[in-house]
Structure 1
């Protein structure tokens, strides 16, 4: 079974970019997350927005710019190894 989309706050939490779902939701509500879907970049404003495989997510964390491509949705918050399988890093400077 493959999941085609997921809420951005859930995905950030599963990918271990946020310790809790509420912290992930707060990141989104602050406008700190940019999503590129089908070549169009938007600043997300609601945690309920969907993310899909192939989308690119850009945000700042600990003073660094993080850019990743979504590979899969995942079905739970697992180990760090499982989390790394959900995305591939991109060159944020490029």
Structure 2
């Protein structure tokens, strides 16, 4: 539910209300750290946003491009918060491609089941002792 009486909202409040960040202070830190851009430019936490502005938000190496579709200064449930913005189709496609890349990279990496068991440790120690005697 958007607040119809609002024409402008501080960007840090909006990011918190839209549930991109858990607290306003985390939203402020992200803005100060250059993780949030408005129409391609860095902003300050006090910058007021309006409808139809484009935001670029980076969260843990994931970049989202969103269009502001609603304004609110109050944090509500996730379904209502999702009505405050719309992620661009490019952003969604890029995010899904990155997720597939991360998954593929994880599958190709050698996966250790667990620590060596007692028999494997003995074999390792035997191998290490043999090669220490050679040198």
- Give TM-score, length-normalised by structure 2: 0.61
For residue 83 of structure 2, what is the aligned residue in structure 1?
85
Runs of 4+ in 1 over 3 A off after TM superposition: none
Structure 1 residue ranges without an equivalent (≥5) = none
Distance of 1:75 and 1:33 partners within structure 2? 18
For residue 53 of structure 1, what is the aligned residue in structure 2?
51
For residue 4 of structure 1, what is the aligned residue in structure 2?
7
Is residue 23 of structure 2 the alignment partner of residue 20 of structure 1? yes
The count of aligned residue pairs is: 88
Q: How does 1:69-84 map to 2 (within 5 A)?
A: 69-84=67-82
More strand by share: 1
Structure 2 residue ranges without an equivalent (≥5) = 95-135
SS for the counterpart of 2:26 is: helix
Choose which of 57, 66, 69 in structure 2 pairs with 1:68: 66
- Give TM-score, length-normalised by structure 1: 0.86
> RMSD between aligned alpha carbons?
1.2
Of the two, which has the highest radius of gyration?
Answer: 2
More helix by share: 2
Distance of 2:50 and 2:12 partners within structure 1? 13
Distance of 1:57 and 1:73 partners within structure 2? 13
